[in-house]
Amino acid sequence: MQRFIDEPAVGKSHLDAFNTAEYNAMGDGIVAVDVQGLVLLSDRISRIKLDISPGNNISKQFPQLWSSISAAVDSCTACSDLPLQYGESCFMVHVTPTIHDGTVIGAICVFVESTDHEVVARQLRSFRELSKELAAIIDSSSEGLWVCDGNGVILRINPASEMLNNLKKEEVIGRNIRELVDQGLIDKSAVQEVLAGKAVAHVLQSISGRKLITTGVPVFDDDGKIFRVVVTERDITEIDRLQRALEDQEAIKGQFWHHMMEQQQIKLATHSIIAKSPAMVKALQQAVKVSAADSTVLILGESGVGKGLIADLIHQNSARASKPLIKINCGAIPESLIGSELFGYEKGAFTGAQTAKPGYLELADEGILFLDEIAELPLASQVKLLRFLEDGRVTRLGGTVGRTVNVRIITATHRDLEKMVAEKTFRLDLYYRLNVVPLYIPALRERKDCLLALLRHYIGVFSTKNGLQKRLTRAATDALLAYDYPGNVRELMNICERLVVMSESEVIDLQDLPRQCVSQAAEQLHLSSTWPKEMTLEQILASVERSLLADSMKELRSQYRVAEALGIHQSTVARKLQRYGINESMLGR
pLDDT at 470 over 60: yes
What pLDDT, on a 0 to 100 scale, did the predictor assign at position 523?
A: 57
What pLDDT, on a 0 to 100 scale, did the predictor assign at position 375?
A: 94
pLDDT at 96 over 60: yes
What pLDDT, on a 0 to 100 scale, did the predictor assign at position 367?
A: 93
The Cα–Cα gap between 86 and 50 comes to 7
CB 333 within 8 Å of CB 341: yes
Architecture of the domain made up of 445-527: Orthogonal Bundle (1.10)
> Higher pLDDT residue, 200 or 561?
200
In sequence order, the 6+-apart residues with CB closer than 8 A to the CB of 517 are 479, 480, 482, 483, 495
Confidence at 39, pLDDT banded by 50, 70, 90 = very high
Which of 434, 421, 419, 312 is CA-nearest to residue 385? 434
What pLDDT, on a 0 to 100 scale, did the predictor assign at position 541?
A: 64
Fold of 266-442: Rossmann fold (3.40.50)
The Cα–Cα gap between 571 and 187 comes to 98
The CA distances from residue 545 to 18, 512, 548, 558, in Å, are: 122, 27, 5, 17
Specify the pTM.
0.47
Please count the other Cβ atoms lying within 10 Å of the Cβ belonging to residue 9.
Answer: 6
CB 304 within 8 Å of CB 443: no
The Cα–Cα gap between 58 and 250 comes to 73
Beta strands in 236-356 (DSSP E): 297-300, 325-329, 344-345
Sheet holding 408-413, edge to edge: 325-329, 368-372, 408-413, 297-300, 437-440
What pLDDT, on a 0 to 100 scale, did the predictor assign at position 442?
A: 93
353-385 burial code (b ≥16 CB/10 A, e <16): eeeebbbbbbebbebbbbbbbbbbbeeebbebb
What backbone phi and psi angles, to 5 degrees, belong to 205?
Answer: -115, 155
Confidence at 5, pLDDT banded by 50, 70, 90 = very low
In which residue ranges of the chain is CATH 3.30.450.20 found? 12-114, 122-235
Architecture of the domain made up of 537-587: Orthogonal Bundle (1.10)
CB 146 within 8 Å of CB 157: yes
In which residue ranges of the chain is CATH 1.10.10 found? 537-587
The Cα–Cα gap between 324 and 231 comes to 48
The H-or-E segment that residue 452 falls in is helix 451-465
The CA angle 515-517-520, to the nearest 5 degrees, is 105
CB half-sphere exposure, 71, CA atoms < 13 A: 9
> Which range has the worst mean pLDDT, 59-68, 104-113, 441-450, 572-581?
572-581
CB 35 within 8 Å of CB 104: yes
Please count the other Cβ atoms lying within 10 Å of the Cβ belonging to residue 86.
Answer: 16
The Cα–Cα gap between 129 and 379 comes to 83
Per-residue pLDDT, averaged over 380-390, amounts to 91
What backbone phi and psi angles, to 5 degrees, belong to 221?
Answer: -90, -175
What pLDDT, on a 0 to 100 scale, did the predictor assign at position 578?
A: 80
What pLDDT, on a 0 to 100 scale, did the predictor assign at position 263?
A: 43
Confidence at 546, pLDDT banded by 50, 70, 90 = confident
Burial of residue 242 (number of CB atoms within 10 Å: 0-12, 13-18, 19+): exposed
Which of 551, 555, 554, 558 is CA-nearest to residue 574? 558
The CA distances from residue 256 to 252, 261, 292, 318, 322, in Å, are: 6, 9, 15, 16, 21
What pLDDT, on a 0 to 100 scale, did the predictor assign at position 562?
A: 80
Q: What is the pLDDT of residues 415-426, one digit of tens each?
A: 999 999 999 999
What pLDDT, on a 0 to 100 scale, did the predictor assign at position 459?
A: 93
325-329 and 297-300 strand pairing: unpaired
What pLDDT, on a 0 to 100 scale, did the predictor assign at position 528?
A: 47
Class (C level, CATH) for 12-114: alpha beta
> Higher pLDDT residue, 258 or 537?
537
572-584 burial code (b ≥16 CB/10 A, e <16): ebeebbeeeebee
What pLDDT, on a 0 to 100 scale, did the predictor assign at position 253?
A: 54
> With helix as H, strand as E and coil as C, how does 513-535 read?
CCHHHHHHHHHHHHHCCCCCCCC
> Higher pLDDT residue, 237 or 40?
40
What backbone phi and psi angles, to 5 degrees, belong to 440?
Answer: -100, 125
Which of 440, 323, 435 is CA-nearest to residue 386? 435
Per-residue pLDDT, averaged over 116-130, amounts to 68
437-440 and 297-300 strand pairing: parallel
Fold of 122-235: Beta-Lactamase (3.30.450)
The CA distances from residue 198 to 104, 192, 225, in Å, are: 62, 10, 9
What is the separation, in whole angstroms, between the first and last Cα of the chain? 112
The CA distances from residue 210 to 36, 139, 183, 477, 589, in Å, are: 69, 21, 19, 70, 69
The Cα–Cα gap between 452 and 440 comes to 22
CB half-sphere exposure, 24, CA atoms < 13 A: 9
The CA angle 270-275-278, to the nearest 5 degrees, is 150
Per-residue pLDDT, averaged over 196-204, amounts to 87
Q: What is the pLDDT of residues 238-255, one digit of tens each?
A: 676 776 667 556 654 554
> Higher pLDDT residue, 305 or 267?
305
The H-or-E segment that residue 312 falls in is helix 307-316
In sequence order, the 6+-apart residues with CB closer than 8 A to the CB of 312 are 270, 325
In which residue ranges of the chain is CATH 3.40.50.300 found? 266-442
